[in-house]
Amino acid sequence: MRPIESATAYAESRVSTGGASTSQSQSGAPAPYWLKLIHVGNTFSGYRSPDGATWTLIGEQTIPTMAANIYVGLSVTARDNTKLNTSSFDSVSVSSSTTLASAAITSSAPATLTTAASKLLDGSVATYFQSAAANGAWVGVDFGKARTITGIKFAPRSGFESRMIGGTFQVSNTADFSSGVATLFVIKKAPKGGAITAQPVSPGKAYRYVRYLAPNGSFGNIAETSFVGF
């Protein structure tokens, strides 16, 4: 991440030791501004913000092969060998992502007592949520307070994997998703049955509620989901 005094911030990276570097940029208000780097799996996502609350993606990069240990640091450069640079950083922190505690929420009654929303969080890919309604069903979680989400984990109902194609994970700070809804991830292909699929995401701000909005005709079928963040 490279801030400069002008309105542009840069995310620079190289995918191999000693390899060529690439740069992505995002314009905004001139410095000072906030920067954030999120690491999920082998993917790094850089953001900028004018206030530390609303974040804009600068760029993302996936590193194919990484060492076991990752180091975090700050540096400065004058970009001129004849000059020195003196800079100040503040509000520096390093946070570790973890599975976020949550309670299940849903838009409709389950088809039966054994397919209730609580099955979404029971840790078993053998159980599943199923709505009494074929269309417009959603099930999700409440974190209790706004959280920064960095990853989604989910599993389909066994034998009905194709029902998740077109399903959408959305976030909001309104419990009924009547306003301020943003899309985290859209499922484009059937996930592997009997297994957890992990997907890094970058919502750009903190949210309290997440839901899985199922495609019409799927009865909301999903076996498991959990969310990683801080």
Looking up tokens 């940029």 gives 25
Q: How many CB atoms lie within 10 A of CB 23?
A: 11
Task: Look at the chain and report how many structural domains it folds into.
Answer: 2
Separation CA 61–CA 39 (nearest Å): 10
Whichever domain contains 196, its CATH number is 2.60.120.260
Do residue 72 and residue 125 come from a single domain?
A: no
Do residue 8 and residue 74 come from a single domain?
A: yes
Separation CA 170–CA 166 (nearest Å): 13
Do residue 64 and residue 145 come from a single domain?
A: no
**Residue where a domain stops, chosen among 79, 94, 109:** 94
Own/partner long-range contacts of 71-80 (Cβ < 8 Å, ≥24 apart): none
DSSP 8-state secondary structure symbol assigned to residue 165: T
Domain that holds residue 157: 98-229
Do residue 64 and residue 119 come from a single domain?
A: no
Do residue 20 and residue 56 come from a single domain?
A: yes
Do residue 120 and residue 198 come from a single domain?
A: yes
Question: E-assigned strands of 90-223?
Answer: 98-99, 103-106, 138-147, 149-155, 168-172, 182-186, 197-200, 207-213
* Token pair belonging to 207: 């949210």
Separation CA 148–CA 202 (nearest Å): 9
* pLDDT tens, the chain, 230 aa long: 777 767 888 888 888 888 898 989 888 888 888 888 888 778 888 888 888 877 888 888 888 888 888 888 888 888 889 999 888 888 898 887 889 999 999 998 999 999 999 999 999 999 999 999 999 999 999 999 999 898 899 999 999 999 999 999 999 999 999 999 999 999 999 999 999 998 888 787 899 999 999 999 999 999 999 999 98
